[in-house]
C-alpha cells in the first residue's frame, strides 16, 4: 500500500472515543502500528480493562452515555489535552454523528472515519433510501404511517435516525399501528434525539446480509466480503458469520450484492470502512436496509476470512494511503457469537454485577488477544483458530449504563460445520462466573440442526424458541458437588469429611436456589461411602473439585465459591447456585404482589395510578437499562395499592416499584 502525496496525514497518537471491547480492539492495532493511545472513560468505567491498557486516559465525569461518551465537546477537549492527533470513534455512541466528526476535524485532528457529508447522507434512513434508489440500489418501498392499509401488513416501524434495534416495532394489526408508532417515536427520541419514524413492508423470514466496504481517497472501492447476521433478538444480532450460507447457495447473488454495495458507496463519495446492509429473501432478492458509516461489531469474521486488519486499513486510508486495485479473496469460514450479560429465557433481561471469572479457550484470555497470541492476522489463513475480543476480565463490573455485550468469540476454519462445532465446544468449556449470560443459548444455536444446514432467517427464535434450561438432574448433581466441596473446605487436620459418621445418622442438608427453584440436597458420608439420591458414588472431594461417579460414569465438577454464589462447571454444563440461608432476614422480605426492579435502570413510563384495577400481564411500568426497554407487568389481577416511582427516576435492582393487591 502506498501513500499519496496529496495532503498525507501523519498520525502518532489516537484517542478512541468509545469504551469496552472496541476500545481494546483499536488500541491493539494502534500499538502494533507504533501509535500511542488515549482512552476516555466514565466514572463507572474507571477500573475497566480498556482504561488500564491505554497510554493515557481522561475522565469524563458522570455515568450515563449522555454525560460522557455522547458528549462530543468533552471528548475533543480530552484529545487535545492528552496530545492526540487523531480520533477513532469505534462503533455506537458518536461514531455516526456528523456533528462530532466535523468538530474533530475543526479541532485540527484526523478523523478516522468517512467524510462528514457521507455520514450526513446516511444519517436519515428515509433520505438514505431515496439516495440509494436513485443510485440503482434495490430498496423496499417506504410506507407513510398514516396511509398503511391492512393489505400491506405486517409492517416494520423504524426510527429514521440511529439503529441497534431501538425505535423498531413489528405491527401485524392495523388497530395497533398508531400506538406502536407513538412508542417507537418516543424510544427513538430518547435514544437518538430524533423521533422521526417510518414504515416499510416487514419480511418475517428475511435474511440479514451485509457487505463490508473499504474505500480510499483516490476512488478505489472494495467490496471485501459479505456477512450473514440473521439470528437476532430484539433486532440486535447474536450470531454472525462469513461467508453467508444463503449467498453461497445462490451463485449470482454475491456479484449482485457487491455491485449494489459499491454503487451505494460511490453515490455518497464514501471513504473508509463501512457496511451496506440488505434484507434478502430465500430466492436471493435483496433490498437496501441502511449503511453503517463506521466499523461494524461483527468485523472480525471478515478479518478472519480475508487476513485483513480493518482497523489498520482505517488508519491507512485516513492518512491518505491508496488501496490495491482488488481486495484479497476470502478463504474458509468464520462464525462470531456475542456474549451478552442477559437472561434469554426471561425476556432477554440484562444482568449486572461483578464478573468473578472470565476465560475462553485453552488459557485465560485478556482483551482482544486471540488464543494464538496478540497478532490480529494469522500466519496461515487455513489454520483453524479461536479469537476472543473482550471488554471484560476477571473482576470486571458489569454496569447498567451501557450495552450488555461482554465479549465476542470468533472461530475460523476451512469448514462451516467444523467451525460451529469448535466454537460450541470452546464456549461450553468457558469459565464465566458471577453474571448470568446467554452462553448456553449460543451453544444451543451452534448445535441446532437448522443452524447447521444454514436455515438462519430472522425468525429463528420465533420458530425454535430460546433453547432449554439445564436439566434438573444436572442441577441437583451440581448442587451435591457444591455441598461436598463446601464440606471438604471445613475439614480439620484429620482427612475425615464433614458429616462423616461411623454409624448411621441424620443426613447433612444444604439448600441452593437456581432462578425460582430451590434444591434441597441431603447426603450422608459413611464407612461405605456416599449415601445420596440416585446411583452416585463419591470418588474424591476438595474445596474446588469434586469427582463423582454417576450411574457408573465418572465426572469432575469444578467448584468456585464466591460471596453468595457458587459456580459449578462440568461436562454436563455450567450451573450457578445461590446458597439459601436457613433463616430469612425479615428486612429482605417484600409484600405479596410487589413489583420489584429486575435490574438497575431508569423508569421511562408509568402507565397506572394508585387505585387502578389491572389484569394479570398488563404492562404497568417501563424501565430502560443497558440500551434496552423492559416492561414490568402486573403479576395478577388486582388493584394498584402502592406506586413508589415516577418517570425519570433511577432505581436499583430489587427496589419495590409498585404493589398490586387483591380486588376489594
Integer Cα distance of 185 and 172 in angstroms: 18
C-alpha grid cell for residue 613?
A: 384495577
Q: What is the pLDDT of residues 3-52, one digit of tens each?
A: 443 467 899 999 999 999 999 999 999 999 999 999 999 999 999 999 99
Taking residues 589-610, report their average pLDDT: 83
Mean pLDDT throughout 581-592?
A: 63
pLDDT for the residue numbered 501: 55
338 is catalytic: no
Which of the four pLDDT bands, split at 50, 70 and 90, describes residue 198? confident
Tell me which of 3.40.50.20, 3.30.230.10, 3.90.230.10, 1.10.579.10 is the CATH number of domain 13-112: 3.40.50.20
- pLDDT value of residue 374: 38
Helix (H) or strand (E) holding 659: strand 656-661
pLDDT of residue 494: 44
Whether residue 293 contacts residue 274, with contact meaning beta carbons closer than 8 Å, is answered with yes
Average pLDDT over residues 439-453: 98
Higher-scoring residue by pLDDT: 264, 597 = 264
As a whole number, mean pLDDT of residues 531-553 equals 94
The per-residue pLDDT for 209 is 98
The model carries a pTM of 0.87
pLDDT at 571: 94
pLDDT tier for residue 102 given thresholds of 50, 70 and 90: very high
Give the residue, 148 or 504, on which the prediction is more confident. 148
Of 234-243, 377-386, 490-499, 511-520, which gets the smallest average pLDDT?
A: 490-499
**Predicted local confidence at residue 414, as pLDDT:** 95
Give the mean pLDDT of 189-206. 81
Predicted pLDDT at 377: 43
Q: Decide which of 1.50.10.20, 1.10.10.60, 3.30.1280.10, 2.40.50.100 is the CATH code for 586-661.
A: 2.40.50.100
Flag whether pLDDT at 221 surpasses 60.
yes
Residues β-bridged to residue 531:
524
- pLDDT over threshold 50, residue 105: yes
Q: Determine the Cα angle at 238 with ends 596 and 158, to 5°.
A: 80
How many angstroms separate the CA atoms of 135 and 267, rounded?
6
pLDDT value, residue 584: 58
Say if residues 539 and 547 touch (Cβ distance below 8 Å): yes
Beta bridge partners of 579: 512
Q: What is the mean pLDDT of residues 626-643?
A: 84
Which of 225-234, 455-464, 631-640 shows the lowest per-residue confidence on average (mean pLDDT)? 631-640
Least confident of 162-171, 391-400, 412-421: 162-171
* 491: pLDDT strictly greater than 60: no
Q: CATH number of the domain at 332-452, please?
A: 3.30.470.20
Sign, CA dihedral 169-352-434-17, equals positive
Percent of the chain's residues with pLDDT above 70: 91
Q: Which of 197-206, 479-488, 641-650 has the highest mean pLDDT?
A: 479-488
Q: Average model confidence (pLDDT) for the chain?
A: 89
- Rounded (to 5) percent helix, strand, coil in the chain: 25, 35, 40
pLDDT of 381 reads 65
Query: What is the rounded distance in angstroms from the CA atom of residue 155 to the CA atom of residue 177?
Result: 9
Domain boundaries, the chain: 13-112, 138-201, 332-452, 472-579, 586-661
CATH domain 472-579 topology: Glycoprotein, Type 4 Pilin (3.30.700)
Q: What is the mean pLDDT of residues 619-642?
A: 84
pLDDT tier, 168 (very low <50, low <70, confident <90, very high otherwise): confident
Q: Name which of 474, 500, 475, 484 is nearest 546 in CA terms.
A: 484
24, 262, 294, 387: which one is catalytic?
294
Higher-confidence residue of 385 and 581: namely 385
> How is domain 138-201 classified at the architecture level of CATH?
2-Layer Sandwich (3.30)
Which H helix or E strand runs over 28? helix 20-32
Q: What is the mean pLDDT of residues 610-618?
A: 90
Mean pLDDT score, 561-590: 84
Does position 163 have pLDDT exceeding 70, yes or no? no
Residue 599: per-residue pLDDT: 75
**Cβ proximity of 526 and 471 under 8 Å:** no
**Closest C-alpha among 387, 392, 377, 440 to residue 412:** 387
Given a cut of 70, whether residue 630 has pLDDT beyond it is yes
Choose between 369 and 511: higher pLDDT: 511
Other Cβ atoms within 10 Å of 590 Cβ, number:
12
pLDDT of residue 132: 96
pLDDT category of residue 503 using cuts at 50, 70 and 90: low
pLDDT attached to residue 629: 75
Query: What's the pLDDT score for residue 490?
Result: 67
**Under 8 Å between Cβ of 350 and 341:** yes
pLDDT by residue (tens digit) across 264-301? 999 999 999 999 999 999 999 999 999 999 999 999 99
Please tell me which of 188-197, 318-327, 347-356, 610-619 the model is most confident about, judged by mean pLDDT. 318-327
Amino acid at each position: 500500500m502506498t501513500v499519496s502525496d496529496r495532503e498525507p496525514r501523519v498520525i502518532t497518537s489516537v484517542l478512541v472515543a468509545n469504551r469496552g471491547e472496541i476500545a481494546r480492539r483499536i488500541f491493539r492495532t494502534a500499538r502494533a502500528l507504533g501509535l500511542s493511545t488515549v482512552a476516555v472513560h466514565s466514572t463507572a468505567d474507571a477500573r475497566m480493562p480498556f482504561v488500564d491498557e491505554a497510554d493515557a486516559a481522561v475522565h469524563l465525569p458522570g455515568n450515563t452515555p449522555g454525560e460522557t461518551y455522547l458528549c462530543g465537546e468533552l471528548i475533543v477537549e480530552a484529545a487535545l489535552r492528552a496530545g492526540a492527533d487523531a480520533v477513532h470513534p469505534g462503533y455506537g455512541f458518536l461514531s455516526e454523528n456528523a456533528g462530532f466528526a466535523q468538530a474533530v476535524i475543526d479541532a485540527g485532528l484526523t478523523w478516522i472515519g468517512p467524510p462528514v457529508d457521507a455520514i450526513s447522507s446516511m444519517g436519515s434512513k428515509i433520505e438514505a433510501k431515496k439516495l440509494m434508489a436513485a443510485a440503482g440500489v434495490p430498496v423496499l418501498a417506504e410506507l407513510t404511517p398514516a396511509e398503511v392499509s391492512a393489505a400491506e401488513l405486517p409492517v416494520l416501524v423504524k426510527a429514521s435516525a440511529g439503529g441497534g434495534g431501538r425505535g423498531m416495532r413489528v405491527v401485524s394489526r392495523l388497530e395497533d399501528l398508531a400506538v406502536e408508532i407513538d412508542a417507537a417515536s418516543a424510544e427513538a427520541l430518547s435514544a437518538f434525539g430524533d423521533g422521526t419514524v417510518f414504515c416499510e413492508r416487514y419480511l418475517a423470514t428475511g435474511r440479514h446480509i451485509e457487505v463490508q466496504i473499504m474505500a480510499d481517497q483516490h476512488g478505489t472501492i472494495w467490496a471485501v466480503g459479505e456477512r450473514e447476521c440473521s439470528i437476532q433478538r430484539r433486532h440486535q444480532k447474536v450470531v454472525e458469520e462469513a461467508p453467508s450460507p444463503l449467498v453461497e447457495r445462490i451463485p449470482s447473488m454475491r456479484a449482485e450484492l457487491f455491485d449494489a454495495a459499491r454503487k451505494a458507496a460511490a453515490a455518497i463519495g464514501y471513504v473508509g470502512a463501512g457496511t451496506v446492509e440488505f434484507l434478502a429473501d430465500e430466492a436471493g432478492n435483496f433490498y437496501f436496509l441502511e449503511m453503517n458509516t463506521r466499523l461494524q461489531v461483527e468485523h472480525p469474521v471478515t478479518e478472519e476470512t480475508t487476513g485483513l486488519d480493518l482497523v489498520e486499513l482505517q488508519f491507512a486510508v485516513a492518512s491518505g494511503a491508496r488501496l490495491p486495485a482488488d481486495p484479497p479473496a476470502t478463504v474458509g469460514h468464520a462464525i462470531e457469537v456475542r456474549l451478552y450479560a442477559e437472561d434469554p429465557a426471561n425476556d432477554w433481561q440484562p444482568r449486572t454485577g461483578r464478573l468473578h471469572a472470565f476465560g475462553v479457550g485453552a488459557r485465560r484470555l485478556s482483551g482482544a488477544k486471540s488464543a494464538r497470541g496478540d497478532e490480529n492476522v494469522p500466519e496461515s489463513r487455513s489454520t483453524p483458530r479461536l479469537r476472543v475480543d473482550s471488554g471484560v476480565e476477571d473482576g470486571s463490573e458489569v454496569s447498567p449504563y451501557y450495552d450488555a455485550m461482554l465479549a465476542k468469540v470468533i472461530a475460523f476454519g476451512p469448514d462451516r460445520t467444523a467451525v460451529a462445532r469448535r466454537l460450541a465446544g470452546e464456549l461450553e468449556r468457558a469459565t464465566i462466573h458471577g453474571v448470568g449470560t446467554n452462553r448456553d443459548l449460543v451453544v444451543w444455536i451452534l448445535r441446532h440442526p437448522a443452524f447447521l444446514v444454514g436455515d438462519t432467517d430472522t425468525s429463528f427464535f420465533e420458530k425454535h424458541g430460546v433453547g432449554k434450561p439445564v436439566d434438573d438432574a444436572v442441577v441437583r448433581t451440581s448442587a451435591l458437588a457444591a455441598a461436598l466441596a463446601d464440606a471438604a473446605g471445613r475439614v480439620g487436620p484429620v482427612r475425615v469429611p464433614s458429616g462423616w459418621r461411623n454409624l448411621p445418622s441424620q443426613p447433612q442438608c444444604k439448600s441452593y436456589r437456581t432462578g425460582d427453584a430451590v434444591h434441597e440436597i441431603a447426603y450422608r458420608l459413611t464407612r461405605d461411602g456416599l449415601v445420596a439420591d440416585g446411583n452416585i458414588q463419591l470418588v474424591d472431594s476438595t474445596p474446588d473439585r469434586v469427582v463423582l461417579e454417576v450411574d457408573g460414569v465418572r465426572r469432575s465438577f469444578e467448584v468456585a465459591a464466591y460471596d453468595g454464589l457458587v459456580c459449578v462447571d462440568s461436562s454436563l454444563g455450567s450451573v450457578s447456585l445461590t446458597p439459601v440461608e436457613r433463616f430469612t432476614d425479615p428486612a429482605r422480605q417484600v409484600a405479596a404482589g410487589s413489583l420489584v426492579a429486575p435490574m438497575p435502570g431508569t423508569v421511562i413510563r408509568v402507565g397506572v395510578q394508585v387505585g387502578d384495577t389491572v389484569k394479570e400481564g398488563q404492562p404497568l411500568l417501563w424501565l430502560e437499562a443497558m440500551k434496552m426497554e423492559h416492561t414490568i407487568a402486573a403479576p395478577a389481577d388486582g388493584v394498584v395499592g402502592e406506586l413508589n416511582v415516577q418517570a425519570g427516576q433511577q432505581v436499583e435492582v430489587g427496589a419495590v416499584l409498585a404493589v398490586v393487591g387483591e380486588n376489594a
